[in-house]
């Protein structure tokens, strides 16, 4: 009886077509994913090509000297002065102010959402934070100009704080990138295995000790990546600094006076009547290429940090 049953099973199996069937749906999805990746790479290469082509025209002009560009502190292309430091220092100043706000607040909120908040509270707070990321940056710019600047002038005095200043722009930039750092950090913290938390609780650790001494070190690579992505976002921010930081390069480290960042300068110059192949026109692309390489460098550093501190769990 058993042999008869076995023969029936073998006969039925022999009639089944075991060849791999072609699934057109998966093929189409795979093709779309490949096209998306190719299009992203092609777009990036196109941007680099255009920036490089126009920036090369700038550096080929006889008035431009690369050494003076990197060592002098006056940026006035129309009269032959190309010191990039006034634009660079104001960019770094606003970025440092923004990161001083976003890093501690974003990390603290992420720890609360990951380790302390109940699921209902998390489901309410996270969408609220993500709404901040969806507000147009021009709105943040006018918020900095009409709310943050008057507030600073009331606190420190109208003689100290100018109407246009890098301090208010930097503070509002910190609010802008806060959701980005919070979301990425919270994802990194949530990815830490529950077993590590339970083991720490088992040896008598408090919730705060577990969060700061176990979970945060285990998620360090993700937190570092979130910080560097936020840093890149702050360096490339345009509308907030264009509205609130001031117009005109100014080599200063005082956050209460007006100064123009690299992106703010690009916006102001490109909005004027510039003739093609003029020195002002070509300088825009040189600054854009400089920002591109700064962002690229930060992304490379981010990848290196992630590889260096990544924790792999079974």
81 - beta bridge partners? 76
76 - beta bridge partners? 81
Residues 254, 257: Cα–Cα separation, whole Å: 6
Structural contact between residues 280 and 78, judged by C-beta atoms closer than 8 angstroms: yes
Whole-prediction pTM: 0.82
pLDDT of residue 221: 83
Rounded to an integer, what is the distance from CA 1 to the centroid of its chain? 71
- At 66, is the secondary structure helix, strand, or coil? helix
pLDDT tens digit string along 76-91? 877 778 888 888 899 9
* DSSP, residue by residue, 229-290: HHHHHHHT--HHHHHHT-SS------TTS----HHHHHHHHHTS---TT-HHHHHHHHHHHH
pLDDT of residue 133: 80
Q: Is the dihedral of CA 162, 164, 169, 170 positive or negative?
A: negative
Nearest alpha-carbon partner for 151 in 299, 256, 11: 256
pLDDT tens digit string along 188-204? 888 888 888 888 888 88
Q: Residues of the chain with pLDDT > 70: what percent?
A: 89
Number of Cβ within a 10 Å radius of residue 13: 9
Residues 151, 290: Cα–Cα separation, whole Å: 34
Tokens representing 133?
């990321």
Phi/psi at 205 (nearest 5 deg)?
A: -70, 145
Residues in the chain, total? 314
Tokens representing 174?
């910190």
pLDDT of residue 124: 84
pLDDT of residue 212: 86
Nearest alpha-carbon partner for 107 in 195, 193, 188: 188
Report all structural domains of the chain as residue ranges with CATH numbers, in order of start.
85-261 (1.10.3720.10)
Phi/psi at 75 (nearest 5 deg)?
A: -115, 95
Residue 96 has pLDDT above 90, yes or no: yes
Nearest alpha-carbon partner for 178 in 145, 132, 135, 241: 132
pLDDT tens digit string along 48-65? 888 888 888 888 877 777
Residue 8 has pLDDT above 90, yes or no: no
pLDDT band at 277 (very low <50, low <70, confident <90, very high): low
- The mean pLDDT value of the chain amounts to 83
pLDDT tens digit string along 98-151? 999 999 999 999 999 888 888 888 888 888 888 888 888 899 999 999 999 999
Strands (E), the chain: 75-76, 81-82
pLDDT of residue 283: 83
Structural contact between residues 200 and 215, judged by C-beta atoms closer than 8 angstroms: no
Residues 284, 48: Cα–Cα separation, whole Å: 14
Residues 123, 119: Cα–Cα separation, whole Å: 6
Tokens representing 155?
């606190």
């Amino acid at each position: 009886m058993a042999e008869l049953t076995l023969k029936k099973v073998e006969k039925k199996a022999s009639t089944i077509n075991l060849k791999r069937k072609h699934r057109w749906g998966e093929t189409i999805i795979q093709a779309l994913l490949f096209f998306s990746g190719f299009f992203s790479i092609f777009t990036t290469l196109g941007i680099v090509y255009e920036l490089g082509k126009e920036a090369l025209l700038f550096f080929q002009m006889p008035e431009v000297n690369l050494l003076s560009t990197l060592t002098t502190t006056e940026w006035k292309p129309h009269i032959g002065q190309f010191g990039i430091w006034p634009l660079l220092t104001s960019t770094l100043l606003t970025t440092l102010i923004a990161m001083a706000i976003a890093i501690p607040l974003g990390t603290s909120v992420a720890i609360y959402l990951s380790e302390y908040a109940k699921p209902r509270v998390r489901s309410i707070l996270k969408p609220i934070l993500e709404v901040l990321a969806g507000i147009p940056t021009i709105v943040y710019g006018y918020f900095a100009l009409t709310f943050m600047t008057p507030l600073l002038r009331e606190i420190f005095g109208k003689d100290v704080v100018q109407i246009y200043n890098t301090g208010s722009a930097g503070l509002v930039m910190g609010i802008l990138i806060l959701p980005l750092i919070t979301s990425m950090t919270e994802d990194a913290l949530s990815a830490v295995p529950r077993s590590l938390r339970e083991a720490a609780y088992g040896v008598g650790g408090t919730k705060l000790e577990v969060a700061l001494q176990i979970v945060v070190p285990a998620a360090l690579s993700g937190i570092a990546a979130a910080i560097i992505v936020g840093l890149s976002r702050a360096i490339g921010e345009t509308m907030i600094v264009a509205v609130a930081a001031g117009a005109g390069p100014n080599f200063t480290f005082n956050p209460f006076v007006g100064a123009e960042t690299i992106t703010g300068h690009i916006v102001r110059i490109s909005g004027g009547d510039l003739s093609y192949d003029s020195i002002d026109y070509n300088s825009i692309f040189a600054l854009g290429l400089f920002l591109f390489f700064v962002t690229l460098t930060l992304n490379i550093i981010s990848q290196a940090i992630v590889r260096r501190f990544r924790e792999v769990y079974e």
